[in-house]
Chain A
Amino acid sequence: MATLYNLKVTACDGVFYDGDCEILVLPGIDGQLAILAHHETFTGVVEIGELRFKDGEGQWHYAVISDGLITVYGDGSVKILAYSCERPEDIDEFRAQEALERAQEQLQQKQSRIEYEISTANMARAMARLKSVSRGK
């Protein structure tokens, strides 16, 4: 059995996961990134997308994560802070579909730069949610 480390994922509506982890795969800016035990200390960016990790019993967990930051500490523990983090089964598919359509509609209108960025981020989140819901079926 591989060495375990402590993983803590905090989202704005509470602590999503706090416990042992064997391997963590997360969406990075230029592709996926896997973190095993004894990773070097670093701070990095987490993109909107799907996160998965194997817990102490070898069970895989999936989650949809919105953008945030990850930090690996000197003692090997890993902390992720993100706006939201949800299990695929908790996702409301209709709501995500609606959010996607709303964002697409907004993107077709003339918008300020801020509005444009918010809409694209909303769209990315909705797409990530929908993707993970459809994969689970």
Chain B
Amino acid sequence: MASTKEIQNRINSIQDTMKITRAMYMMSSMKLRKAKQKLADTEPFFIGTQIGIAENLAHFPDIRHIYFDNRVEDEQETIKKRGIVVFTGDKGMAGAYNHNAIKLAQERVKQFSKDEYKLFVVGEVGRAFFVSNGYNVDESFRYSSNNPTMHRARIISEYLIDLYNKEELDRIDVIYTKMLNSVSEETCVERLLPLKTHKFLKEQAQEIANDTEGASKAAKELSEGTKHVHSINSYELEAIQNGGDSWYPFYPSLSTVLERLVHNHFTAFIYGAMVECSASEENARMMAMQSATDNAEAMLHELSIEYNRVRQSQITQEITEVIGGAKALKSKKEKGKRG
């Protein structure tokens, strides 16, 4: 059994750690409040753009354009270069938050060779991981995930759209974490470019409509609600169902609207994803710190019981020794009297 001194040391060290986790809990709960407010402010815009792009695409005529990746030269390409934007946090200690995003990104790139994909990582934790593990990461893409601003979202999206227009990328997916409610969050994948063509949307909507059991890939992805790389999301399904075939005029021209649609949607999505991510990160950190504090408390409880027991047994031992000594002395005296 450990000595009282050792147990006392352990109790002290746990108490110190608990002070830190408790402080971190307070910090992240404060940051979470701010991030949640921002999320609530941004949500109508974020959802609005997704609905907007779905509606517009549902009315878009079938054209060949680089943004749909269906020009003749695009169809002849043998290698499609994928850009994957991964949102992670700048710091650890946030439970499984960073780990989930990293794991999903790893899963997505594992079947590709290094020249077939490129990772664009937002946040220090993810970047450090992917660089040190030898993934193909764009080194000049360095952005923090703290305090999302529109300005940063604009720079990121201009950078990526520029790469796409230079044909250095053929498609761009985004991996981000969405906050479902205060206890659960989900890592999502969404395809930003190329856009889905009207024909594709219609086929997918038809497939879902025909598929009453929900067994097909498209219906599955729709019902799971988080990963829409090969299929459509609920906004797009709704847009097609609400008279997607009717013709819309575009002002001032189709190509201007398309250009603006892509830039706006991209920036809005990046901004929305950043806001969602910062809220989820703080939430994950808050929960991690809460459970760390709880665990520390449980450990302290156990240790204090052990400490008391050890102390008690020590006292008992001392008393026994004293009594034993006194008895020995007494009997010695009696022996002396007799003798």
Contacts and interface: CB of A to CB of B under 8 A. Distances in A.
Interface of A: 10-15, 28-30, 33, 40-45, 67-69, 71, 74, 79, 81, 83-84, 113-114, 117-118, 121
B271 A12 contact: yes
B26 to A, nearest CB: 27
Contacts of A41: 246, 248-249
A79 B248 contact: no
A29 B243 CA distance: 28
Interface residues of B, number: 31
A36 to B, nearest CB: 15
A100 to B, nearest CB: 15
Interface in B274-303: none
Contacts of B243: 74
A10 B45 contact: yes
B98 interface: no
B249 A69 contact: no
Contacts of A10: 44-45, 48
B62 interface: no
A83 B257 CA distance: 16
Given A10-B48, A12-B150, A79-B48, A42 B249 contact: yes
Interface stretch (B4-12, B131-139, B151-159): B151-159
A43 B252 CA distance: 9
A37 B25 CA distance: 53
B250 interface: yes
Contacts of A83: 150, 264, 267-268
B45 A69 contact: no
Contacts of A45: 251-252, 256-257, 260
B59 interface: yes
A44 B252 contact: yes
Nearest to A68: B264
B100 interface: no
A81 B45 CA distance: 7
B61 interface: no
Contacts of A11: 45
